[in-house]
């Protein structure tokens, strides 16, 4: 999950929890506030009454009164109870036949040797009257504010995370070693992202330098080796043609030629792999898939005769490779088919099949050969990895490394499945657009 999604999710959830908590607690809180407010008011009314009694005497105030709709209630009476009352309670009073719940302030006091009981009440219904609208308003304001903060959070998060997205999008996604292109600093005031950006850049630079060094080394080394090989090859060829060399010596010269050729092949192959891996080839060719595989067959058909291997090709005639390097792709198929021949059995068969499943194009090269040990499959594409079978075949262990380099260069995925003594299948899965039908 993306960081921004996570943050948004957390923001929303946490605010939702706050809203739920608040909604659950709101009635209680409002009730409490209302009660405190009423109690204070009742006390104030009591104090005001005492003020009046002090100035005007008590007689005029000894009565009970209810306003017509009975929201308030007031009584001042002589009372004989001895206890000192000073409470505010919810009590029921029966007035004119109605039982009404009141919030009542009861207060005992003595004046001129008379004991009085003062009661001031306010109907609970009246107190609760404001609760619902208050709750509604509070709820609405809360929801509004939560909504606003979610939007604000969202905007800010995406603003703050923008450099991170930029770093991911421009520096990580779809970037392929060794070609990263030029460095462009991502503008941000967040030091973490600055650090991240710089670190990625430094790592890329180190990798590029290493690549560049390897590229130069392999290229230089190959050239330096190619020149002496060239001289030796020419000398052997001239010697071979000169008349004063007898046939015995010629046979030995031939041995030398073959060994030199091996050195040459290895050097050429290494140079080619380094050139592919350093993106020194263009991908501008368009060629029919069947046409290319027929060319491979033409090149290689003579090798089938030795073990009487049958070759079957089933590639849709309208398939075209687009934006590929023809030379490289040819070599990829050549090496795969060549291996399928080399590691096949007498009277074996090779099948090259193209298939399209839901727009995913694959070409498989399947043989009925000796198969590959499961433990060898992971290292199959490593340079100079030789297995017992390949040693018998005079192979120098660079065929599959070339295949892999070329496949990587074109974004083709290779899958190997093999069963001992049954055969091996190489499946090439082509990226979208590389094959057009």
Partner 1 sequence: MNVLIIEDEKALAQELDIFLTGYNYKCEVCYNGRSASEKIAVNLYDFILIDLGLPDYEGLNLLKETKKTNGEAACIVLTARAEVSDRITGLDLGADDYLAKPFSLPELYSRMQAITRRKFGLKHHMVELGGFAIDLTERTISWGSEVVSAITKKEFDLIAYLLLHKNRTLTRTQLSEHIWGSVVNNDYDSNYIDAHIKNIRKKLSGFAQPDWLETVRGLGYKIKING
Binding site for partner 1 (CB under 8 A): 219, 222-223, 226-227, 229-235, 237-238, 240-241, 247, 250-251, 254, 257-258, 261-262, 264-265, 268-269, 271-272, 275, 280-282, 298-299, 301-303, 305-306, 327, 330-331, 334-335, 338-339, 342, 393-399, 402
Q: How far is the CB of 250 from partner 1 (least distance, A)?
A: 6
Q: Please report how close the Cβ of residue 178 comes to partner 1 at its closest, in angstroms.
A: 17
Nearest CB to partner 1, comparing residues 350 and 398: 398
How far is 45 from 59, CA to CA, in rounded Å? 18
Residue 346 beta carbon to partner 1: minimum distance, rounded to whole angstroms: 15
Residue 78 or 237 having the CB closest to partner 1: 237
**C-beta of 37 vs 217, nearer to partner 1:** 217
| Nearest residue to 122 (alpha-carbon basis) of 89, 97, 85 | 89
Helix axes 3-56, 131-167, angle to 10 degrees: 150
Q: State the number of CA atoms in the 13 A half-sphere of 62 facing the CB.
A: 11
Rounded to a whole number of angstroms, the CA Rg of the chain reads 47
Q: How far apart are CA 21 and CA 321, in angstroms?
A: 63
Is-cis flag, bond preceding 115, omega within 30?
A: no
Closest to 398 measured CA to CA, from 268, 298, 301: 268
First-to-last alpha carbon distance for the chain, in angstroms, is 36
Residue 130's nearest CA partner among 256, 30, 247 is 30
Shortest Cβ distance from residue 427 to partner 1 (Å)?
Answer: 20
Q: Supply the minimum distance, in Å, between the C-beta of residue 149 and partner 1.
A: 60
Cβ-contact 404, 381 below 8 angstroms:
yes
Q: Residue 147 — φ and ψ, nearest 5°? A: -60, -45
| Cα–Cα dist 73/75, whole Å | 7
Q: Please, which residue, 121 or 348, has the CB nearer to partner 1?
A: 348
CB of 407 to partner 1, least distance (A): 14
DSSP state of 377: G
Q: How far is the CB of 347 from partner 1 (least distance, A)?
A: 17
Residue 33 vs 282, nearer CB to partner 1: 282
Least Å distance, CB 14 to partner 1, is 59
Q: Under DSSP, is residue 413 helix (H, G, I), strand (E, B) or coil?
A: strand
Q: Are the C-beta atoms of 346 and 336 separated by less than 8 Å?
A: no
Which residue, 52 or 231, is less far from partner 1 as judged by CB?
Answer: 231
DSSP assigned state of 372: -
- Which of 331, 344 has the CB closer to partner 1? 331
Nearer to partner 1, 73 or 321 (CB): 321
Going by C-alpha positions, the residue among 231, 222, 217 that lies closest to residue 267 is: 222
Say if CB 279 and CB 241 are below 8 A apart.
no
Give the up-direction half-sphere exposure of residue 118: CA atoms within 13 A in the CB hemisphere.
19
| Nearest distance, CB of residue 182 and partner 1, angstroms | 21
How many angstroms separate the Cα of 63 from the Cα of each of 74, 75, 77, 111, 309? 8, 6, 7, 16, 124
Closest to partner 1 by CB, 399 or 423? 399
Write down the least CB distance from residue 308 to partner 1, Å: 12
Closest to partner 1 by CB, 200 or 398? 398
> What are the tokens at 367?
């043989």
Contacts of 114 (CB under 8 A, 6+ apart): 58, 78
Q: Measured from the CB atom, is 333 or 361 closer to partner 1?
A: 333
How would you classify the pairing of strands 349-357 and 360-367?
Answer: antiparallel
């Amino acid at each position: 999950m993306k960081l921004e999604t996570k943050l948004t999710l957390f923001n929303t959830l946490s605010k939702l929890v706050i809203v739920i908590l608040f909604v659950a607690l709101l009635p209680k809180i409002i009730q409490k506030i209302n009660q405190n407010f009423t109690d204070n008011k009742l006390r104030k009314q009591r104090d005001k009454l005492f003020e009046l009694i002090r100035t005007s005497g008590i007689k005029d105030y000894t009565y009970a009164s209810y306003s017509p709709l009975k929201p308030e209630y007031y009584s001042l009476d002589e009372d004989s109870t001895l206890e000192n009352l000073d409470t505010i309670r919810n009590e029921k009073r029966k007035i004119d036949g109605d039982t009404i719940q009141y919030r009542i302030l009861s207060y005992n006091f003595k004046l001129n040797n008379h004991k009085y009981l003062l009661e001031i009440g306010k109907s609970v219904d009246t107190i609760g009257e404001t609760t619902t609208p208050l709750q509604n308003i509070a709820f609405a304001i809360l929801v509004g504010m939560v909504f606003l903060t979610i939007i604000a959070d969202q905007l800010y998060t995406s603003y703050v995370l923008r450099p991170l997205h930029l770093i991911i999008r421009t520096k990580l996604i779809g970037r392929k070693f060794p070609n990263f292109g030029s460095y462009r600093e991502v503008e941000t005031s967040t030091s973490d992202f600055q650090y991240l950006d710089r670190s990625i850049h430094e790592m890329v630079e180190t990798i590029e330098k290493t690549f560049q060094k390897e590229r130069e080394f392999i290229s230089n080394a190959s050239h330096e080796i190619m020149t002496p090989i060239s001289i030796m090859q020419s000398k052997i060829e001239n010697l071979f043609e000169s008349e004063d060399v007898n046939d015995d010596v010629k046979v030995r010269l031939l041995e030398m030629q073959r060994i030199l050729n091996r050195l040459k092949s290895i050097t050429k192959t290494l140079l080619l792999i380094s050139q592919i891996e350093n993106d020194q080839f263009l991908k501008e060719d368009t060629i029919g898939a069947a046409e290319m595989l027929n060319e491979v067959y033409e090149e290689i058909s003579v090798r089938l005769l030795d073990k009487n291997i049958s070759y079957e090709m089933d590639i849709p005639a309208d398939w075209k490779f687009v934006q590929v390097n023809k030379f490289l792709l040819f070599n990829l198929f050549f090496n795969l088919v060549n291996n399928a021949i080399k590691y096949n059995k007498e009277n074996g068969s090779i099948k090259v099949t193209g298939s399209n499943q839901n727009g995913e194009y694959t070409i498989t090269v399947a043989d009925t050969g000796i198969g590959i040990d499961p433990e060898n499959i992971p290292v199959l594409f490593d340079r100079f990895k030789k297995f017992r079978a390949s040693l018998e075949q005079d192979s120098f262990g660079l065929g599959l490394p070339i295949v892999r380099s070329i496949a990587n260069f074109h974004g083709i995925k290779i899958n190997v499945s093999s069963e001992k003594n049954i055969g091996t299948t190489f499946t090439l899965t082509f990226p979208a657009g590389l094959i057009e039908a």
